[in-house]
Chains A and B, each alone.
Chain A
């Protein structure tokens, strides 16, 4: 629950929701807590909500590190994505 992950916004799906991608896994999340979300933005994702924008280099670096350590956060994200509804 305490894990946060950098993910990339690939499309806005509603006023407060967006599809984000993490290593090819796509999930719909809330972007209600950040200003002016746009496709291509990298954000810190926590329990299904984007908390802040971060820059791409930063995001990539964190993801490499998380992947190297077999992060619980990535597992949680993947599990949640698999149980989520299929995209329309």
Chain B
């Protein structure tokens, strides 16, 4: 309860908490997966789990792009960065993520690789224009919110006739990951991940709309509530899911109504479909190989595809054995189930991707005191 007074709508939150407690059926459990790392972060930041009755359990999902990128893809980025004449432009989040054999982009940079942190894809193109004698590779990662900016910048580079700009594309798709979680009977049987409903991501849904989730509601009978990031948004969305489950409904409801439409952002979706196509297969940390779950550049933009330009192949590698990131990303384990958590693995010395990103479940647990609670 200690976080409650920190936000202005404390009264609303209290009222919502009381309503949820009143309406939740004590004879059943409610296992709700918040897909998005932003929600995971907010749930811990505001101590939302403390406001819920014990039969409502939040399962933390894989919606953190830094977390789900497998070690082998990071190794590829490191190999690309180490090539002569290359500048690798990357979002800051990726620099500290451990690759295999203790490597990371930060270590490659210390060894002399030219790796630049950029805030936006526009900065990466500016780098290419300013350094015509160098090859600038943009390390593109992210779900549907970061994909349109990558698409636009590839089109811009094509229009400008840039020949020294390429993209190492690791864009992944939210609905594919949700489907993989729902469709993996082996994982469910082995590790008993049962999910009754989903909190849908906010900004991803601004782009893709609410329509893609209808399939999960209809086909799998799982209710979805697309939720904003504020604590009150999340509480309201949890209430929506509790009500749907109590009434036996499985629908897509939109709590974040102010920015999400059924069709999403058409300009953004069109830009993505002009430049990208589905990859036949992509490996996710924790979820394994998921067919058609990621994007690659279309043939007409092959000249801007770093994988093709530099003939760089994916070599699957094992992560650190004791690291429980994979099971945590599937919702099968909690960070405190990992023996590295809070000991060998902390935000200062992260061993697993879920500890590197502030959106990762381990970082959220650690930062907001779940570790201390577990130790008591």
Q: What residues of chain A have their CB less than 8 Å away from a CB belonging to chain B?
A: 1-4, 29-30, 32-35, 44, 46-49, 51-52, 54-55, 58, 61-62, 64-65, 68-69, 72, 76, 79-80, 83
Contact = CB atoms under 8 A, between A and B. Distances in A.
A80 B265 CA distance: 25
B137 to A, nearest CB: 17
Contact of A51 (B93, B119, B122, B145): B145
25 contacts: A1-B66, A2-B357, A2-B359, A30-B122, A33-B152, A33-B265, A33-B268, A44-B259, A46-B149, A47-B119, A47-B121, A47-B145, A48-B119, A48-B120, A51-B265, A52-B206, A52-B265, A54-B259, A55-B258, A61-B230, A62-B229, A62-B230, A65-B7, A76-B92, A79-B119
A79 B117 CA distance: 11
B350 interface: no
B148 A33 contact: yes
Given A33-B271, A51-B265, A2 B37 contact: yes
B31 interface: no
Contacts, number: 98
B219 interface: no
Q: Among the interface residues B6, B120, B146, B230, which one has the most CB atoms of the partner chain A within 10 A? A: B120
Given A65-B7, A68-B6, A46 B122 contact: no
Nearest to A61: B230
B146 A51 contact: no
- Dominant SS among interface residues on chain A: mixed
A80 B121 CA distance: 12
B119 A2 contact: no
A54 B93 contact: no
A67 to B, nearest CB: 12
B237 to A, nearest CB: 16
B7 A68 contact: yes
Interface in B1-46: 6-8, 37-38, 45
B38 A2 contact: yes
Given A2-B65, A32-B267, A68-B7, A52 B122 contact: no
B120 A80 contact: yes
B271 A76 contact: no
Given A54-B258, A79-B119, A44 B265 contact: no
B89 to A, nearest CB: 12
Contact of A80 (B66, B119, B206, B259): B119
A79 B122 CA distance: 15
Contacts of B149: 30, 33, 46-49
A39 to B, nearest CB: 20
B203 interface: yes
B203 A44 contact: yes
Given A35-B267, A47-B145, 6 more contacts: A34-B265, A44-B203, A68-B6, A72-B358, A76-B119, A80-B120
